[in-house]
Structure 1
């Protein structure tokens, strides 16, 4: 915890009874009782507050810079945020596996989960105009749709905790609030998230930390909480066009991110505000590099493709920059043509060395841009590279 005087109420605790289903190991444990925050105003350290302002401005500038290029890069950045948020939870997959999973490939369970996270982020942005209890449940419902044992879209009805034991919260490092408190705590959090009088990135960081403390679902809380952060950035107008992959910035110091959440629970908001500010700056730098890499790849394509300019092969170039794995159905839909007519332009790009045809898990041929996939994987590698101490 930092040396600054805490300006935020720390968690309180209540004794709860543990009744295991097997009948053994009964006892009592301490469950957290988070403060209500709707009417509270966080006061981070001057350093954290300044960093939050700088980072919010950087996010807004980057979002505005994309301008007319949003259609080309918003999908790639959204998927990058989904992959990075999932990687924080130790769910990793290659760009190829993720894009293939979106087309129905079943070769990677992690890729399928990350594809679901992408859909959840889409929902978060769509729901950002009216942040609500229902919107949060909908984000979770989409995220966990393939995992019904975690009751997608429903508040948990059981204890959850952080600790070495998986069968009992007794002696756990942290136990989330009792499930009976969740509706009140979430409604209070939503009221805080809707406020317009707080600096946006400070509000986002604090709301995220409060959400993670409440831990309202049996699983998927981290990814849902970071989707909520994206919704708040859109709601406050910090971003208007794209989901800047802030989770990619958090990946540079996951341990620091988790320590910041602990500090928040002890009554200090500064570390989590700094974590989000620093992550935002890193994310913008990394995303700019990704866009530069994709631009250079597209320029090289123009020198390689010799088909006539009116050919659908040229139209496909912009499509594969944002969807670097295609099947014939998707290519036809994107081009607005019949499926048989998609094969000639796809083959033209294969002949030019721009696409590679592969069979994916008995689904028939997929067409891949190994160059774009490589650029996205390089983005992920940079995001996961912890900064060295200076």
Structure 2
């Protein structure tokens, strides 16, 4: 297949519908019926990726570090098994908490913030704010992205978006947009927008081309993931949720190519360090320069791994402290609780019973022992549906968010 240089976005004039412009200033009313320019996103299936050798080496090094992090974290909890260790002391806890950290960071880029405490409550259905519920949906989206990694196609991208917006916008969840959207400017028209994505009639063809690009096997994986992400952001195939879906796609690509097989490197936490630089890199990509977004993704990956290493170390230390603070016979269910609290910093009795496969009475006994040890604290003063949270895990997660460059609210 003949390859061509990496193409820049082109522009086409489109008529703007003559909609009512009540409430607009006079100069904007005069401009309202004028045509506007929308992007025409070029095909990239066969585009030549011509990057500096040093940048390619940087991206390859980041990919190697992703694989190394994946292996290290997958062993982190099994290196110090609890008494009567089960599969719960293996990969599961760290895989879940890193995925949650990635999802929360990706949401923060879109100015959707929720502290670790609020997010933990939202994940078990306890009462919490609307932003925490939206972030919890992003956690579900990340899980869907990894589950669908072995069959990346148009249907799987739609499935990711359906998971993301199933609660907040069910009528548009999992559907390509059927209207013009734009970034910045005013809500009335795209005339003063910072960027106008392609007309919605062009979305299906552009997304089919993107999927064909993702299936190429001649590119360094992190380079391919970065460019696929930038292309989806440029197409902007949905009315909402494009950023979060696009960042989930990065992880689906890494998983599908075998770079990360067990855990999720919280790359979005690395992007949070300087979101203006990240958005500028997306702008450069649209102008035909793919280098900045590749550099930003590689740098974010390395920053995320460094931050993730600290988070994992904090949680391993917590687990070891808990083993010294809890006194119980070796086969007691309470010894199986630490990895569960890493996965679920907020719990109730049914969750503990279900996850550990024990009775409600045994679950409550395990919870009570952790309360006595100061590891669990009840949320509120309810007596019917009681919920407990683990302040130390919450603190470790909030410290991770702070190190990422933007402290969480709540």
The question of a shared fold, defined as TM-score above 0.5 by the shorter chain, is answered with yes
| 1:297 and 2:318 are equivalent in the alignment | yes
C-alpha contact (below 8 Å) 2:182/2:196 kept by paired residues: yes
Q: What is the CA distance between 1:41 and its match in structure 2?
A: 2.6
Deviations 1:260-289 (A, max 9, x none): 000000010100000000000001111110
Q: 1:20 to 1:92 in 2, by over 3 A?
A: farther
Unaligned 5+ runs, structure 1: 1-5
Match of residue 72 from structure 2: 65
Could you tell me how far apart the structure 1 residues matched to 2:406 and 2:45 are? Answer: 36
Worse-superposed segment, 176-185 or 354-363: 354-363
Residue aligning to 1:195: 216
Match in the other structure for 2:202: 181
Pick from 9, 20, 34 the counterpart of residue 41 of structure 2: 34
Deviation at 1:321, TM superposition (A): 2.2
**Aligned partner of residue 18 in structure 1, secondary structure:** coil
Which of the numbers 261, 266, 282 marks the counterpart of 2:287?
A: 266
Q: Look up the match of 1:119.
A: 140
1:160-179, aligned counterparts within 5 Å? 160-179=181-200
CA contact (8 A) 1:86 1:223 kept: yes
Q: What secondary structure is seen at the aligned counterpart in 2 of 1:375?
A: helix
Range 167-176 or range 112-121, more displaced? 167-176
Q: Does 2:107 align with 1:86?
A: yes
Structure 1 residues 9-18 or 303-312, which shifts more? 303-312
Whole-Å separation in 1 of the counterparts to 2:44 and 2:290: 12
Question: Equivalent residue of 2:35, what SS?
Answer: strand
Q: Is the Cα–Cα contact under 8 Å of residues 205 and 229 in structure 1 kept in the other structure?
A: yes
Give yes or no for the alignment of 1:275 onto 2:301: no
Q: 1:223-261 deviations in whole A, cap 9, x for unaligned?
A: 000001110010111101111111111111110000000
Q: CA RMSD in A?
A: 1.8
1:309 — aligned with what?
A: 330
Deviation at 1:20, TM superposition (A): 5.0
- 2:326–2:373 Cα contact (<8 Å) kept: yes
What CA distance in whole angstroms lies between the structure 1 residues aligned with 2:403 and 2:276?
17
User: Relative to 1, partners in 2 of residues 1:20 and 1:89: Cα closer, same or farther, differing over 3 Å?
Assistant: farther
Separation in 2 of the partners of 1:241 and 1:251? 23
Over residues 355-380 of structure 1, what are the superposed CA-to-partner deviations in whole Å (9 max), with x where a residue is unaligned? Answer: 11123889721111100110011101
Flag structure 2 segments of 5+ consecutive residues without an equivalent.
22-28, 76-89
1:232 is matched with 253
Moved more, 231-240 or 46-55: 46-55
User: Which residue of 2 is the match for residue 330 of structure 1?
Assistant: 351
- Tell me the residue number matched to 1:357: 378
Matches of 2:284 and 2:273 in 1, distance apart? 19
What are the Cα deviations for residues 179-227 of structure 1, in whole angstroms up to 9, with x where unaligned?
0000100000000011111110110011100000000000000000000
Q: Deviations over 1:50-70 (max 9, x none)?
A: 210110111011111223442
Once the two structures are overlaid, the 10-residue window that deviates more, 363-372 or 28-37, is 363-372
Q: Quick check: 1:107–1:361 contact (8 Å CA) kept in 2?
A: no
**How many angstroms apart in 1 are the aligned matches of 2:358 and 2:248?**
35
Contact 2:268-2:300 within 8 A present in 1 as well: yes
User: Could you tell me how far 1:106 is from its partner in structure 2?
Assistant: 3.1
Given that 1:37 and 1:189 are in contact with CA atoms closer than 8 Å, whether structure 2 keeps it comes out as: yes
Going from structure 1 to structure 2, the CA distance change for 1:161 and 1:363 (only over 3 Å counts) comes to farther
Q: 6, 9, 23: which one pairs with 1:8?
A: 6
State the alpha-carbon separation in 2 of the partners of residues 290 and 250 from structure 1: 17
